[in-house]
Structure 1
Amino acid sequence: MREGLHVCGIAGYFGLESDHGLLERMGTAQRHRGPDDQGTFVDGPVGLAHQRLSIIDREGGHQPMATPDGGYVLAYNGEVYNYRALRTELEALGHAFVTHSDTEVVLEAFAEWGAESFDRLNGMFAIAVWDRDEQTLTLARDQFGIKPVHLTRVTDPHGRGEGEAWLFSSEIKAILASGRHEPAPNERIIYRYLRHRVHDDGVETFFDGIERLLPGEMATISSRGLERRQYSTLQQDLMSATPPPTGAGPDTVAAFREGLAESIALRLRSDVPVGTSLSGGLDSSAIAVGIDRMLTAHDASAEAVGHRQQTFSAVFTGYRNDEERWVDDAVAACHGAVESHRIRPTSAEMLEDLTDFVRTQEEPTVSTGPYAQYRVMQEASKHVTVMLDGQGADEMLAGYVPQTVSHLRSLMARDRRAGIKEVVASRDVLSTVVRARLRTRLQGGGSFGELLSRDFKAAHADDSYTVGGGANLRQRLVHDLFVASLPALLRYEDRNSMRFSVEGRVPFLDPNLVRAVFAMPDDAVIKDGWNKAVLRDAEEGILPASIVRRRNKIGFTSPQNDWFREQKEFIYQVFLSESFASRPYFNRTEVLNAFELWLSDSGSLDSMAFWRILNVELWLREFIDPKPSAETEQPQAVESAEPVAAVAGPVTNEGKSLDLVLPDRSTVRRHPVRTPLVTASDDLTKLVVDHVTDHLEVLGDGRTVSGSAFDRWYVFVSEKVVATTQRRSFYVWDIPVTRSARLLSRHVTRTPAGIGLGSPFTMQLAIDEVGLPRVLVAAAAGGVGRLVGRRGVFYTVAGGDVRAIDGPTEYSVAPANMSAKLGPKDPSAVAATLSAAIRSALPEGLAATFAGTVVVDANDLGCNVLGTDASTPVERLERMFADNPLGQGSQQTPLAVVLDSVRSEADPSTTGPSHAGRATGGQA
């Protein structure tokens, strides 16, 4: 007899006109959750969509499924492991069954018991059931929240006016694909994630207006609106459990071992191959060895595993957090045949997968650790369809250090002597916490709050986060199971496994097993400095001591610290991008400074802080930023920048004008000249001569250009391209910042767009250029100048070479947006060389009126002539560029032909002074 168990994707609506197209769009968006089958159902205001991944009875159990009388219709995602017992009970009540699927049992259970049926189900599930007679749609999520349900309120474009309309789905992608919800960021959740490192701890998601059902929660939707409530008593039952503090013995251990074995056996039922996710830790190793014992005992429960258990592990050879030796020990502990698959992710592969990983997870993750699981599921999908792993054991058996701290506080409060004894036994675990806090205090380096923008922090100043449970171990475990820890881990697993059409099963999260653990004495959880005491005792003699008595916990994670150092260029590219600079959440200067500080092994922040920032930016690009044509582009390697063909002829950069009237009422006309991207290998003289002469061929000859009479003309050259071709432009990650540069930069006034010395990168260039003593003298003089009300003293003392230093400008074309630049070397000599070459290439008429070349540092703050061979007063030359008409970002116009004292009547659309618009300079 074949039975129907399958994990799928569900979606649908309530309160809209019949819309099969919407259901198809939502189903297609999460087709990876169920590639084996699909179905839709529409009745009045309700539409249901279902995607099926068949595990057992692959030919049966098509959904949506209706009762014989059509009174109830079900779309169901999950597996109910006790459905046989429920079926027997329902048959005794007169229900007849036509399939062997658990889907039909769930449907008939709801028809019999209504919402009370949900807490009878032992498994993982997300349910949508339509009651035709009551005209209600009921959504429910399993007691632990293993399977997801999301929902959002929408408007009915057909104007039914019959109450609220709602969309629901397994994944958020389906709601976004509906076309009925415009994605927008939930800034409160972003703040909590960035500031407090929490997420998935409530109904809100990172998407404004999209919520999730909580573990053990149901929602009833009708014309009267939506009502949410907890149907499950599991959380309350666990919270109210009052076992004795001590008394765990052999019977307790035996009961736990039997309960875990039963849970594993239930989750091995399948008509498709089953594998094991093996990290090398205690939890996953216990499952792998438990399966091995069933195989060697020829237990029919393990039939789907086959003659050889297949395990899948992410290992990181050569990195500190590599767990391969414990994976080896776990595999060696198995007496039956094991095929151990080892996945060895690299940081380069992570970058390749990053866009898909962000899209897969739908919301930011707390670290890159889930990427290791993503790769495990990717590999597993080539061999198996079901995977068992150890999620939940840490939350129910105090696998985290903070839970041990809660236990010690509770124990000290009721029995000081026993508390002191436990503290001594736990001293090695506690010492890691003490060392981390001490290191933070000693190193300093600022807090995470400094990396956030002032306005963003002010808007959420009242938002705080308090860990539940306090000094009560049991309350802390319940909080971690249902709020603080497990919900996020289950989301990671669900998205990673379903991305590759793999079903993840979690034996530790069996309601009966969890209830049994919470009924055990406290010393079954923590005893003599050992957490997970009952699990360790249960595996004694089965797993090797290297695993059973292992103190350091790693789990499925990644060598994030090392990877971030290996891929620092990519991270800098993101932090230096225009999109990142435009976000209202970050203080970009502080983020860059803090990241540089972390790379130098200083400061109190860790790589987790920078991942959160990076993840938010990548998430915004993927889900929120508009995509007018194709997918959002990820930052490209600097070397991949494509050259832009030169375009001759007059152009006007956005927000700028060709003409400018000077104080003496004379008019100058500026013609920006477009060039390809200028690189360090370019011949500046050839580039300038070729593009200026091409431009002048369009303009004309003699003393009249394009109908304009003028006295003389000049070529203005951005100092950035001069510095670049002199190899005086440096990627920020190649600048070895000293402690002096780091300290001095914090006392310099920060200017917009990275201009000036308000970053350690530009300050280091200043030190390298003129020496630390001169910079220190200038800093002291600047401090005195501020006291007496004089500004600019620092640069007067430091000199023009320091004044010309620029930092990366996010609006510039790459690589200028990632580079810090010294001023050009000997700019007047450069100007003279360029002028000589230009004159030799000009016809006589233009050569006679050519007044020279000007190397200029121009931006929205003003214009500074760095060098020229022209006899015109510098003050006049600087006034010619008072509004900086150059555009060196996407416009790539680092040169300009400037006509002085234009006397012909100009086009009204391009005349007159213009100081509007932002400069787009910054090409390098």
Structure 2
Amino acid sequence: MCGIAGLFDIRGKRDFDRTLMQQMNDIQYHRGPDEGDLYLEPGVALGHRRLSIIDLASGQQPLFNEDGSVAVVFNGEIYNYQELVPELESLGHVFHTRSDTEVIVHAWEAWGEDCVQRFRGMFAFGLWDRNHQCFFMARDRLGVKPLHYAILDDGTLVFGSELKVLMQHPGLDRSIDPHAVEEYFALGYVAEPRTIFKGARKLQPAESLCIRRGQPVPAPKVYWDVRFSLDNPLSLEEASLELTERLRESVRLRMISEVPLGAFLSGGVDSSAVVATMAGLSNEPVNTCSIAFDDPAFNESAFAKMVADRYHTNHHVETVKSDDFDLIDTLAALYDEPYADSSAIPTYRVCQLARKHVTVALSGDGGDESMGGYRRYRMHMMEEKMRAAMPHGVRKPVFGLLGRMYPKADWAPRVFRAKTTFQALARDSVQAYFHSVSILRDEMRASLFSTDFQRKLGGYNAIEVFRRHADAAQTDDPLALIQYIDTKTYLVGDINTKVDRASMAHSLEVREPLMDHKLVEWLGSLPSGLKIKGQEGKYVFKKAMEPLLPNDVLYRPKMGFSVPLARWFRGPLKQRVRDAVLGDTLAATGIFNRSYLQHLVDAHQSGARDYSASLWTILMFEAFLRNTGIVASGSLATEAVG
């Protein structure tokens, strides 16, 4: 795993400042502490930080083709590179390393922009072709690896693995994008292709961008998409057997390494399935790492131990104290823009633990989206049946009225919490799903934002992110639609972002067998009835894993990787929350309605309401402002709402 950075003069061949390029590269030292190098020529500057995984002796970057006319900086792994080498050699290309990176330059020479179609893996790279005077960037299909870029007013393209790389450039417009703020407070992250800054973008998953010097910059090109065709005629038994074999292939590819390798083991279905599969492919015990919590309500370590004992793994466990909240500012610095998933705390800790024992770790991320694992999917499907029974023109006024009149009762048993259900039934499918996953829902954001900031939003609502992807989904199946939306939004903006930054903070490479694009394509062909059956999510996956895992692991309630925010904010973090939410930093932005901030703090700390998720989201926004130094510049209020 690595960090990449670079500059490209779109208009001419200016010489770039080597000191600036060095700063851009050094700011991401954590992504690649083994080696770092720069390459500069008129109009081009490339930087790379290396975490050595494959071809330790000769895989240094930037890496060039035979005559030095093509150069690449690359972050990730091309898992099928060994298959591509003989094919490229047969076309006359000569390899000088055993690195998967070299496959990229020769694949570009052979197939041009279509080279990305041939790669199986996780990747983000920037490639300079001097003969064709073009710069090419691409990101992997599921967005496992990040790629940020900006086109500056002077015609400079600046790019990097993390937003902090771009922030080193004095020409970057760091004014805050109001639409990004709206997305953040709805979703807990800024959705691709936006960043928190007006001047920077994220290349979206499965996008490439080819910029030719002296020509207008085109829009990024989409080179792949997942299709939920749901037309595979396999029986449950046939699908289970094939799923097992496809998982074995995906795991086998991700076990190629010249450094110590292991796996995260949470005790959930996905990570347990990955570990069980690894054990079947390895002659040596698998290295596994788990985090235990001293609060039983959040502790899954006993289930992880069941799997570790069954497969005789080298199992490493560390206990995280339930008051492990010292990472707030650390996380803000890691993520560069507001990021509100509190499970980043235990994720950071398990990466920290894993790096003590391995350099590469396999994870179970991605299984919920492809196989229907989230509890919210089952709730949505039940609501969809009710929505289908009544036209929207009837549902909207009837259930809308009930939703407004029915009291909110977070404290009551779930059966009596009808307000949210009524609100969901009054909406169409996309509105309802967006409502169900929003951290601060529409009415809360309307109260949170100041009148001036709402005017600057110009009516923009973060649901437009979901609408855009729903329009591209090419399915009217209720489950497939929300799986597609999550694959494009939550998986990328939340899960992959969380794991990339947390792992790279510790110079750890994380690989994701359940996000192999061939596996994801095949899972998209399976009928939704094989994914959710009654109240059981991941139905076919659990059936496939029954010979390999204990029933207690497969069929227990899903816990998630969470922390006790509600208790923290009424206890040890009580004053910190009050100071941050009601302090000068947020007040200076002009974004917020202070009376509503006061309500959130008072109602939560009195025990009247559980606003812990909302308060954490606000707390992390405040930490982002302080850590980026925007507040100190004195220009935030103008930037934020201008």
Shift of 1:89: 1.2
CA distance 1:537–1:578, shift in 2 (3 Å): same
Equivalence for 1:178: 169
Shift of 1:471: 5.3
CA distance 1:448–1:465, shift in 2 (3 Å): closer
Shift of 1:473: 2.0
1:243 maps to amino acid? D
Q: Which whole-Å deviations, capped at 9, do the CAs of 1:732-766 have from their partners, x for residues lacking one?
A: xxxxxxxxxxxxxxxxxxxxxxxxxxxxxxxxxxx
Q: Which whole-Å deviations, capped at 9, do the CAs of 1:789-841 have from their partners, x for residues lacking one?
A: xxxxxxxxxxxxxxxxxxxxxxxxxxxxxxxxxxxxxxxxxxxxxxxxxxxxx
Equivalence for 1:69: 67
Count, aligned residues: 579
Equivalence for 1:146: 144
Q: Which whole-Å deviations, capped at 9, do the CAs of 1:623-672 have from their partners, x for residues lacking one?
A: 142558xxxxxxxxxxxxxxxxxxxxxxxxxxxxxxxxxxxxxxxxxxxx
1:10 maps to amino acid? I
Are 1:267 and 2:254 an aligned pair? yes
Are 1:324 and 2:314 an aligned pair? no
CA distance 1:269–1:51, shift in 2 (3 Å): same
Distance 1:197 1:487 in 2: 9
Quick one: higher RCO (CA 8 Å, sep 6+), 1 or 2? 2
Q: Which whole-Å deviations, capped at 9, do the CAs of 1:397-417 have from their partners, x for residues lacking one?
A: 11223333454567789999x
Q: Secondary structure at the match of 2:157?
A: strand
Q: Secondary structure at the match of 1:262?
A: helix
Out of 347, 350, 361, the position equivalent to 2:325 is 350
Q: Secondary structure at the match of 1:570?
A: helix
- Give the TM-score of the pair, scaled to structure 1: 0.60
CA distance 1:171–1:433, shift in 2 (3 Å): farther
Shift of 1:589: 2.8
Shift of 1:290: 1.8
CA distance 1:564–1:248, shift in 2 (3 Å): farther
Shift of 1:37: 1.1
1:354 maps to amino acid? I
Shift of 1:21: 1.4
Are 1:621 and 2:623 an aligned pair? no
| Maintained 8 Å contact 2:55/2:97 | no
Distance 1:217 1:74 in 2: 17
Equivalence for 1:516: 522
| Higher helix residue share | 2
1:560 maps to amino acid? L
CA distance 1:227–1:622, shift in 2 (3 Å): same
Equivalence for 2:606: 600
Are 1:212 and 2:202 an aligned pair? yes
Distance 1:400 1:463 in 2: 28
Shift of 1:530: 1.3
Equivalence for 1:543: 549
Are 1:243 and 2:218 an aligned pair? no
Report 1:562-601 matches (<5 A): 562-566=567-571, 567-601=573-607
1:58 maps to amino acid? L
Q: Secondary structure at the match of 2:37?
A: strand
Equivalence for 2:565: 560
1:515 maps to amino acid? E
Are 1:38 and 2:36 an aligned pair? yes
Distance 1:35 1:436 in 2: 51
Equivalence for 2:314: 338
Out of 14, 17, 20, the position equivalent to 2:18 is 20
Equivalence for 1:253: 240
Q: Secondary structure at the match of 2:548?
A: coil
CA distance 1:345–1:130, shift in 2 (3 Å): farther
Distance 2:583 2:343 in 1: 25
Are 1:82 and 2:77 an aligned pair? no
Q: Secondary structure at the match of 1:125?
A: strand
Shift of 1:452: 2.5
Shift of 1:63: 1.0
Equivalence for 2:180: 189
Q: Which whole-Å deviations, capped at 9, do the CAs of 1:47-83 have from their partners, x for residues lacking one?
A: 1111110012211111111111222111111100011
| Maintained 8 Å contact 1:279/1:555 | no
Identity over aligned residues, as a percent? Answer: 30
| Maintained 8 Å contact 1:31/1:51 | yes
Are 1:400 and 2:374 an aligned pair? yes
Are 1:279 and 2:266 an aligned pair? yes
- Compute the RMSD of aligned alpha carbons: 2.6
Shift of 1:188: 1.5
Out of 9, 17, 40, the position equivalent to 2:3 is 9
Shift of 1:484: 3.8
Equivalence for 1:106: 104
CA distance 1:485–1:123, shift in 2 (3 Å): closer
CA distance 1:55–1:343, shift in 2 (3 Å): farther
Equivalence for 1:382: 356
Distance 2:384 2:230 in 1: 14
Shift of 1:588: 2.1
Q: 5+ unaligned residues in a row in structure 2: which ranges?
A: 391-411, 424-440, 471-475, 634-642
Out of 46, 49, 52, the position equivalent to 2:47 is 49
Distance 1:95 1:435 in 2: 68
CA distance 1:14–1:549, shift in 2 (3 Å): same
Are 1:463 and 2:460 an aligned pair? yes
Distance 2:55 2:67 in 1: 24
| Maintained 8 Å contact 2:365/2:512 | yes
